[in-house]
Structure formats: C-alpha cells, structure tokens
Structure 1
Amino acid sequence: MKFFSLVSIEFKKIRRSKILLILMVAAIILWLPSIFNADLNFGMQAEGISPENNFLIQGFMGMAWFMFPASMVVSTVLLNMTERSNKGILKMLSLPIATAELCLAKFVVLLALAAFQILMTALMYFVSAGIASQMQDYNFILQPLFVFKEAGLIFVSAIPMLAFFWLLSVCIKTPIFSIGIGLASIVPSVLIINTKAWFTYPMSYPFFVITSEYGKLATNLDTAQVEFIPWTPVAIVITILCLSVSCLRFGQAERR
C-alpha cells in the first residue's frame, strides 16, 4: 500500500470523530476574551504597539502558550484511541504495511489537524476583530497576508512539539497519563522562553516565536529574538529523534 493511500485511510478514520469539533470550539473560545476586553488594547501605548496589532498578538500568544498545545495533546491521544477502541490497530498491523509508515501516516494527520486549528484560529481572528471593530468604533482588522504569516510561523515552529506529543501518545498507553504528562509539559514553557536554553524545549517554540514577533511590533518592548542557529539544527534533531522512537515503539504492545 502506498504511503499516500495510507494517509488517506487515516483521514477517513477521523471523519466521524469529535477531534475536528474540539479544535473548532477551542478556536472560537480563544477569541471571546479578546472581544469582551477589546477596549484594553487602547492602553498599550507605553509599549509602543498599535491596538490592532496588540489585539492579534495577544490572541495568538494565548493560543501558542496553552490552547493550541493542549488541543494537540488531546488530539494525539484521540488519534490513538480511534485505533485501540475497537482493536482496529490489530487489523491494521495484520495487513502487509510497514509499521513505521503507519506511524508516520498518523503523524501526517496530526500535522493536518494542527494546520486546521491554526487556520480556524486565524479565520476566527477576522470574525472577532470585525465584532470588536463594531463595538469600539475602531478598525482592528489587519491585512490577511500579515495575519497568515504569523499563523504560519506558529505552525512551523510547532512541528517538533507535535513530534514530542506523538511520542508520548505512542509510548504511554494509558490515555489519562499521556494527557496529564503532555499538559504538564506545556506549563513551564512560559518560564523557559526567558532562558538561553529555550531552544532545547520544543513545547516553548510556538510561544517564543510569537513573543519575539510581539517585540518587533512593540517599539518600546524588548523581547528575545529568534536565532536560527542553534535553534534550527536542535529542532530538526528533536523532531527526527521523537519520530524515530515513535516508529520503533508503534504497535509493539499489540504485537505481544
């Protein structure tokens, strides 16, 4: 079976799941505080950032720090549970399919789910910015190219984090433990981004990237900026290592 056919099958498995619904609801909930507190964006002149830029970045910071990583932790566990609930993993492993390819196909689905949630978040930004504009009689809506560029940065920087979450879901068979460890790993990111070793902790990547973008937009605010060396090679190594171990461990318990 070709890899793309395998990915297509994996997408079909989640059509009736609640994963997409969960991601959509999370994207909607994220922007509600921004709408209700839109007036607070006018009090950021000391930081040297415009109200419309602050509206976007604050929303994206909330997503990058907790909402998005937490949604991905739950998504990884649900992806594995779709197989284990009806012993579907045993049926898949009985087919002439390389276990590593099946594992990677599921990871591709996870990447697609991440892209879907980030896209939904970006689209909901325009809806919430439009509502806030009407409420405050001020235009909060930014250029789409800028908004999607910021969203794209979050997605690319999140790939190593997603690989780590996938590793957790593969190696830890008890869903509650997998979710608990995944959620616990998110919390320290807000502290780790303030250290020089932030690039060693993949859960801090999305939040660090969007925080650095905040520093670029706020002329009076000094934030650490992304340095591609050593971040890029470390991120690549972490991603490859997590996916390699995931491929080795995937389906081991079911084969016994």
Structure 2
Amino acid sequence: MGFTSLIGIEFMKVRRSKIVPLIFIAPVLVVISGVANLSRYFTPEYTNAWPAMFVQSALVYAYYLLPLSMIVVCVMIAGRETSHNGILKMLALPVSRYKLSLAKFVVVAFFLLMEIAVFFAVFVIAGLIATQMMGVREALPIGYLLKSCVGLFLTMLPAVAAMWAITVVFEKPLITVGLNLLLVIPSVLVANTPAWIAYPYCYSGYLVSCSLHDFTTGMASTAFQPFPFVLFAALLFAAFLSLSVLRFGKKEMR
C-alpha cells in the first residue's frame, strides 16, 4: 500500500470525529476577544491597525491556545487506534508501522494547518468589521498576514512533533495530556531566556513576541533572527518525528 493511500485512510478515520469543530473554537474566541478589546481605541486616523490587532490576537493564541488544541488533536487521533485494540488490527496488515506513524503525523500537521487557516479567515473577517465600524481606512495587509500565519505554522511544527512523540511513547491519554501541559505552561517564561531556542513549545509565541517588539519599536523584522533558529528547529523536529516513528506500535509488536 502506498504512502498516499495510507494518508487517505487516516483522513477517512477522522472524517466523522469531533476534531474539525474543535479547531474552530480557539481561533474564534481569541480573535473576537482580541480585536474587540483593541478596536475600542481606534480612531479614523489610527495607523498600523492591522499589525496591532494581529499581535493582540496571536500572542495568547500562539503561546497557549494553539498548543493546547494540538495536544487534544494528537490525543484524539491516537485514541482512535488504542480503543478496542484497533492498533493491533492495523499492525496486522502488511504495511510498515513506520509509514503508518508518518501518515498519522501528516494528518496531525494538516489539522495544524487547517486551524491556522481558520485563524487567518476569522481574523480577516473580524478585522474588516472592526476597521469599518471605527472608520479606519487602512488597507488590508494581506502579505503581512499570510507571512505571519505561515510563520506560526512553521514554528509550531517542532512542538507538534514533540507532542505527537509524547503521545506515541506514553500512550495513556492522562499522562500525555499532563506532560504536554507541563511543557506548554512555562513556554512564555522560557521564551524570555536564552534557552528558548532549544524549547520548541515556545517557538510560535516567541515569533509573535518578536512581532510585538518590532511593532512597539517601529522597526521591521529585527527581533526574530532565522539563524541559528532554523538549524535548532529542524534538528528537534527530525529528532521528535524519528522517535515517534520508531516507537509507534513497538510495544504491540512484541
């Protein structure tokens, strides 16, 4: 069975799950609250309204709500196999368990992309309503918003790989959720130390914090330095993904 066929099967498994409604909750809540709180200070002469609204909405979202929702997604996807010994039936098929693990991670990454796409769409709609109501005539900076959302997706991938690896290794939902929560909670503190570069759970939040710094200082893209971040992020992503692939179904195969 080809890898693309495996991915298709994995998507069929989650088609009727509650994951899709779940990924709408965090973006809608954070965008509406963030834009509503900030738009009260807008005047028709207000400038940089869109970056201000984005940073206001994305800060808590990137540090906490997005990681928390992805933890739930990982647990829900893994839970479909562990319940009723489904993983034993799956491993009995003439398919590499490594491919199965990779196919499942592709589904997790897809839901990450989908949630950020929802965040983008809800933010644009809420922002347009807010600027129209307050008489702000600033043009929609579509390039800036797309770049920022792509940055959120890419910087979140190492953390999602870590979440998925923990889910695969420990299996028990209570343990995986608890451990991932313990790693998410101090992310805002770690982001303010030199250790942030080795802590993938704070990457997305750190990116938004850098955007906040650039916005408040009036500089353009000076706080976030791609290197050596890209190297560390790629190495951690590869390490966590390899761990999940190697450990997936290993206990059941004994």
Aligned equivalents of 2:76 and 2:138: distance in 1?
A: 36
What is the CA-CA distance between 1:213 and the residue it aligns to?
2.0
TM-aligned CA distance change 1:124 to 1:141, over 3 Å: farther
What is the CA-CA distance between 1:33 and the residue it aligns to?
1.1
| TM-score normalised by structure 1 residue count | 0.91
TM-aligned CA distance change 1:217 to 1:174, over 3 Å: same
The residue type paired with residue 181 of structure 2 is L
Aligned equivalents of 1:148 and 1:54: distance in 2?
A: 15
Q: Give runs of ≥4 in structure 1 deviating > 4 Å.
A: 40-43, 220-224
Q: Is the 8 A contact 1:126 1:141 kept in 2?
A: no
Question: Among residues 106, 112, 118, which one is paired with 1:120 in the alignment?
Answer: 118
Aligned to 1:228: 226
Aligned to 1:181: 179
Flag structure 2 segments of 5+ consecutive residues without an equivalent. none
Aligned to 2:61: 63
- Percent sequence identity over matched residues? 31
The answer to whether residue 16 in structure 2 is matched with residue 23 in structure 1 is no
What is the CA-CA distance between 1:52 and the residue it aligns to?
2.7
Q: Is the 8 A contact 2:10 2:107 kept in 1?
A: yes
Q: Is the 8 A contact 1:24 1:117 kept in 2?
A: yes
* RMSD (CA atoms): 2.3
The residue type paired with residue 60 of structure 1 is A
What is the CA-CA distance between 1:205 and the residue it aligns to?
0.6
Of residues 131-140 and 12-21 in structure 1, the stretch that sits farther from structure 2 once superposed is 131-140
Aligned equivalents of 1:220 and 1:151: distance in 2?
A: 21
Of residues 236-245 and 117-126 in structure 1, the stretch that sits farther from structure 2 once superposed is 236-245
Which string of whole-angstrom CA distances, capped at 9 and with x for unpartnered residues, describes residues 95-118 of structure 1? Answer: 111111100110111110000000
Aligned to 1:133: 131
Aligned to 2:169: 171
Aligned to 1:211: 209
The residue type paired with residue 17 of structure 1 is S
Q: Is the 8 A contact 1:35 1:131 kept in 2?
A: no
Aligned to 1:151: 149
What is the CA-CA distance between 1:225 and the residue it aligns to?
2.1
**3-state SS of the aligned residue for 1:86?**
helix
1:39-50 equivalences under 5 Å are 39=39, 41-42=41-42, 50=48
Aligned to 1:201: 199
| TM-score normalised by structure 2 residue count | 0.91
Q: Is the 8 A contact 1:35 1:128 kept in 2?
A: yes
**3-state SS of the aligned residue for 1:240?**
helix
Of residues 187-196 and 119-128 in structure 1, the stretch that sits farther from structure 2 once superposed is 187-196
What is the CA-CA distance between 1:40 and the residue it aligns to?
5.1
Q: Is the 8 A contact 1:53 1:142 kept in 2?
A: no
1:52-91 equivalences under 5 Å are 52-91=50-89
What is the CA-CA distance between 1:142 and the residue it aligns to?
2.6
The residue type paired with residue 99 of structure 2 is E
Aligned equivalents of 2:24 and 2:124: distance in 1?
A: 15
Aligned to 1:13: 13
Aligned to 2:36: 36
Aligned equivalents of 1:154 and 1:14: distance in 2?
A: 24
TM-aligned CA distance change 1:120 to 1:26, over 3 Å: same
Which string of whole-angstrom CA distances, capped at 9 and with x for unpartnered residues, describes residues 152-191 of structure 1? Answer: 0010111111110001100112102211111221111111
What is the CA-CA distance between 1:49 and the residue it aligns to?
7.4
What is the CA-CA distance between 1:27 and the residue it aligns to?
1.6
What is the CA-CA distance between 1:84 and the residue it aligns to?
1.5
